[in-house]
Amino acid sequence: MKSKTVFGWLLIIILSLIPVLLLFTLGNGMQVFHNYGSLTHVLGQIFGLVGMTMFALTFMLSTRARFIEELFGGLDKVYIVHGIFGGLALLFILFHPIFLVLKFVPSAMGYAAKYLLPSNSWSVNFGIIALLGLILLICFTLYSKMKYNKWKFTHEFLGIMFILAVLHIFLVRNTVAQDNIFNGYFVYAGVVSAIGIIAFIYSLVIRGELIRNSLYKVIELDKHGDFFEVTMNSNNPIDYKSGQFVFVKFYNRKVPSEAHPFSIASKSGDENLKIVVKKLGDYTMLLENLNVGDKVSVEGPYGKFNYKNYDNHDQVWIAAGIGITPFLGMAEDLLDDDLHRVTLFYSVKDEKDFVGYKLLEEVSAKNNRFKFVPWNTSKQGFITAKHIFEHTGKSARKEFFICGPPAFKDAIVSGLIKEGVSGNKIHNEEFGFR
């Protein structure tokens, strides 16, 4: 899985830098850097086109296409890349007007100042609006604490900003064809524009029509403390592996209609699909209004977080809080598995926070190759890599699976690496992207 992630990263970086390659193969190459004005102008154009390419690729990454998930080794990894490239796209697009203005500095400061202000030229105004809109929307994405449905609504305006940027490219008065950046500039820009717009429209409108989600019905609700389990059944169930996740939309008037991702907490292929919810925010609090009999739309499964995806049978699973959910189904799978030897560490702040404790104890009692180690931080302190090795013994061959809040995950990963565990042996469920 690690190699797939690396390959996906390399591919998307190479695709983003195609304009630079075209500059040197179909343009004048190093000759464009012969003076200050030419240098800043060409860099401005290239930064803009690289940024637009990245922008289009972020829309591709958000389509949830299966081949993209395979490239990165899981949809959770895809969304992490999506967020990073969204920020990078903004950065490169921001450099576009900066470098174009630099060619007027210091000889024509007045014109440089006017260059960045709205004018009678809508070709330029489209670019200014798109840039300001991108800055605002990216800031919302990175720093806003607004409710998910409102955040998602504002996120959809990114497509409008992209279209405005496309209009800027093709309507700007001093065409880049005359500037001779490289032959076929507008053909490339057209391809990038088409990819971005089609991917955006697909994600916003078409995907919901083409992908036939499975219709489930809530058959059981088990509430305890800040957690509750939702068990669903369908006449047309999805085919899934434990540890994967699904996008779930509940049909209940008191619950928002948008789909949210949840880890599957039931064993592979079980006819009953189970998720575990912790009341962490506005949406999860409202799920307490669910009733037995409510209809549920389920899209998926997604993700590659399953212990059978790796050949090494000697494994350590490490969970914290609600991060136990993907391990519950995998633990049940071990009841029919006599090959894998697993130690599961489950860290919580208090005894009442344990979820699935009875199930894990039962699996441990029935399968002597599975060891369950509950960890109460209020009594035992924070779990560390040294604590883990005290129970399992050090071995370079073990595979480590981790799921939990980002701070917990980062601390455990850092500790394992300091203790000599190779990064290729550590597998994370990107809990934070949800």
Mean pLDDT score, 215-233: 90
- State the pLDDT confidence band at 177, using cuts at 50, 70 and 90: very low
- Report pLDDT digits (tens) over 141-164: 666 665 666 666 677 788 899 999
Tell me the DSSP string of 127-151: HHHHHHHHHHHHHHHHH----HHHH
Q: What is the pTM of this model?
A: 0.83
Q: Beta-carbon neighbour count of residue 78 at 10 Å?
A: 27
Per-position b or e across 236-247, b if 16+ CB within 10 A of its CB = ebbebbbbbbbb
Residue the block writes with tokens 């560390």: 384
For the record, the structure tokens of 213 come out as 């989600």
> Who has greater pLDDT, 204 or 327?
327
Answer whether 313's CB lies under 8 Å from 340's CB.
yes
- State the pLDDT confidence band at 112, using cuts at 50, 70 and 90: low
Q: Beta-carbon neighbour count of residue 120 at 10 Å?
A: 6
Q: Do 214-302 and 308-433 fold alike per CATH?
A: no
Q: What CATH number was assigned to the domain covering residues 308-433?
A: 3.40.50.80
Q: Beta-carbon neighbour count of residue 15 at 10 Å?
A: 15
The residues spanned by each domain of the chain are 2-210, 214-302, 308-433
Answer whether 287's CB lies under 8 Å from 277's CB.
yes
pLDDT score, position 176: 46
Report the share of the chain in percent with pLDDT over 90: 48
- State the pLDDT confidence band at 417, using cuts at 50, 70 and 90: very high
- 338, amino acid identity: D
Mean pLDDT score, 26-52: 82
What are φ and ψ of residue 148, in 5° steps? -60, -45
- State the pLDDT confidence band at 434, using cuts at 50, 70 and 90: very low
Q: What CATH number was assigned to the domain covering residues 214-302?
A: 2.40.30.10
- State the pLDDT confidence band at 413, using cuts at 50, 70 and 90: very high
Task: State the sign of the Cα–Cα–Cα–Cα dihedral 283, 289, 239, 401.
Answer: positive
- Report pLDDT digits (tens) over 359-380: 999 999 999 999 999 999 989 9
Residue the block writes with tokens 């039931």: 266
Mean pLDDT score, 84-99: 90
pLDDT score, position 224: 79
- H or E segment to which residue 90 belongs: helix 75-102
Look at 2-16, 55-69, 199-213 and tell me which has the smallest mean pLDDT: 199-213
For the record, the structure tokens of 329 come out as 């189904």
Q: What average pLDDT is seen over the chain?
A: 86
